[in-house]
Amino acid sequence: SQQGEEDPQALSIQEGENATMNCSYKTSINNLQWYRQNSGRGLVHLILIRSNEREKHSGRLRVTLDTSKKSSSLLITASRAADTASYFCAPWNTGFQKLVFGTGTRLLVSP
């Protein structure tokens, strides 16, 4: 299966804390993408990490990739209430040419 599986399914933290969510996948990949979805709305692309990269930063986001373990993690530092959303990882393989999503991690950041 191409899809990634996010863990945990749900995460509840206070504002200012860091949030870490993980993604595991089974196929070989060319890159892995993370998306955010606010309740009932479309997904927004957050960051793409290529298979030859181990770590990537974008603002308060830090993504790591371990292709030997077929896993990735997304760290959101100094979380804000506005970070409350569902987060999805999408492993990408050029052979598949499509994004496949798991059930996501639901993050709740309380003020």
Contact residues for other proteins (CB under 8 A)?
3, 30-31, 33, 35, 40-45, 48, 88, 92, 94, 96-104
Is 4 or 79 the residue whose CB approaches other proteins more closely? 4
3-state secondary structure of 82: helix
Shortest distance (Å) from residue 53 CB to other proteins: 13
Is 3 or 72 the residue whose CB approaches other proteins more closely? 3
Shortest distance (Å) from residue 7 CB to other proteins: 13
How far apart CA 70 and CA 41 sit, in angstroms, is 29
Decide: 99 and 31 in contact? Cβ < 8 Å.
Answer: no
How far apart CA 41 and CA 33 sit, in angstroms, is 18
Is 14 or 103 the residue whose CB approaches other proteins more closely? 103
Shortest distance (Å) from residue 16 CB to other proteins: 28
Give the phi and the psi of residue 82 in degrees, each rounded to 5.
-70, -10
